[in-house]
Amino acid sequence: MRIGIDATPAFCQGAGIGRYSRGLLRSLAAVDHQNEYRLLRPRQVRFALPPWPANFEERVPWFSERNLAIVWHHLRVPLPAEVFTGAVDIFYSPDFVLPPLRRARPIVTVHDLSFLVQPECAEANLRTYLNRTVPKAVRRAQLVLADSVNTKNDLARLLGVPEERIVVVYPGVEDAYCPIDDEARRTEVAQKLRLDRPFLLTVGTLEPRKNLVRLLEAFHKLTQTFPHELIVVGRPGWMYREIYQTVGRLGLHSRVRFLGFLGEEDLPVLYNLADLFVFPSLYEGFGLPPLEAMACGTPVVCSNTSSLPEVVDGAALQFDPRDVEGMAAAMEEALGNPGRRQEMAARGRQQATRFSWQRSAEQLVSLFEGMES
């Protein structure tokens, strides 16, 4: 069977969907040596992926990522993906939308419906684009994959997708996210990032849905009691200026540091060095960072909304993300009780073993082969 995949996010995106796509493609290459895969990617890429086995081939049209979107979604007569992949039996898109297709049977992953659930948190142009393309994609798709039961329920409730066409395929966690006892490596990263005091960590794109303004307000309440810094990892996304303004308003310049995007060589060590991982998001389709933190043995404090109870399943302290006092109380409870943090770390490591890229890839191959019959 020939399977086309839009590999654009794996090669071009740094944050959640890019990391999801890279993890899934690496595992597909490891578990499936029978089917033929044609990975469509733009000419210019930001991330290199390891050499593929013989049944995987990259197809590279003379287009940038932006121009691929134009020829698929903005031309009066859009170009089918098979123009670039050649004839395929199935075409899988891991990033919300489907390109035009001639004969291939379409599968799409919809990671979340935040543009419908939290529209005030989405940049206007992106919200308009997703409102136009995602409903069309889920109508066309023979299968719609969701990252969580919560997203499956949202797809049925908000877009009317029949439940029998929705399959939950949980993301996994890379092997690099694990407890790291190598003191030389830990010291190297601590010195590189100038980590000279204990810290809390949060990871995610700087945008309103990640709820960082309330996190800063909650963290401010702890600064007289605890010596910690707050380390923020993630690129600026959209509507993020209030985050920086809040740091100034609360006088937190000496206690909050923004490290920007960190590659996978340093991020697992950073999780390991943190006393506490905090994830105050208003809405998630899954939530890779809390899973990665748990896999590293870092105690997690996170929101009690959307998919996050599925991800942590009792292994983390949870709070209402709109309640600043409750958020501060949860962080204070964890920071002030080393025994509780140790218990949370152990439960988190156990919970993280439920999620595996190998299992995700094997499930996806089974879905592909089920569509052939």
Q: What is the pTM of this model?
A: 0.91
Predicted pLDDT of residue 155: 97
149 and 252 housed in the same domain: no
Burial 83-113 (b: 16+ CB within 10 A, else e): ebbeebbbbbbbbbbbbbbeebbbbbbbbbb
Cα gap 68→91, rounded to integer Å? 16
* Rounded distance between C-alpha atoms, residue 294 and residue 352, angstroms: 6
The pLDDT assigned to 237 comes to 87
pLDDT digits (tens, 9 = 90+) for 207-235: 999 999 999 999 999 999 999 999 999 99
Residue 178 belongs to some domain of the structure: no
Print burial letters for 22-33: b (CB count within 10 Å at least 16), e (below 16).
bbbbbbbbebbe
The answer to whether residues 121 and 216 belong to one domain is no
pLDDT score, position 70? 64
Q: Amino acid identity, residue 225?
A: T
pLDDT digits (tens, 9 = 90+) for 172-187: 999 999 999 999 999 9
CB-CB neighbours of 50 under 10 Å: 8
> Angle at Cα 357 formed by Cα 267 and Cα 290, nearest 5°?
45
Quote the domain boundaries for residue 329: 183-352
CB distance 146 to 167 below 8 Å? yes
- Verify that 29 and 160 share a domain, yes or no: yes
Q: Percent of the chain, pLDDT > 90?
A: 75
Residue 208, pLDDT score: 93
The encoded tokens of residue 373 equal 């019959």
Largest Cα–Cα separation, the chain: 64
Please indicate, yes or no, if residue 316 is contained in any of the structural domains.
Answer: yes
Same domain, 194 and 324: yes
The CATH number given to whatever domain includes residue 37 is: 3.40.50.2000
Residues 307 and 364 in one domain: no
Q: Which of 288, 293, 318 is nearest to 303 (CA)?
A: 318
Residues 215 and 228 in one domain: yes
Examine the domain organization and report whether 206 and 89 are in the same domain: no
DSSP helix/strand/coil, 290: helix
Could you tell me if residue 80 is left (phi over 0), alpha (psi between -120 and 50 degrees) or otherwise beta? beta
Confidence of residue 69 (pLDDT cuts 50, 70, 90): low
In a domain, 177, yes or no: no
311 lies in the same domain as 207: yes
Whether residue 324 sits in one domain with residue 274? yes
Render pLDDT for 280-330 as a digit per residue (tens, 0 to 9): 999 999 999 999 999 999 999 999 999 999 999 999 999 999 999 999 999
Looking at the fold, whether 212 and 243 belong to one and the same domain comes out as: yes
Note whether 121 and 265 are same-domain residues: no
Residues 228 and 163 in one domain: no
Q: Evaluate whether residue 366 is within a structural domain.
A: yes
**Residue linked to tokens 């709109």:** 322
The predicted-structure confidence for 118-173, as pLDDT tens digits, reads as follows 888 778 888 888 898 899 999 999 999 999 999 999 999 999 999 999 999 999 99
* Domains contained in the chain, number: 2
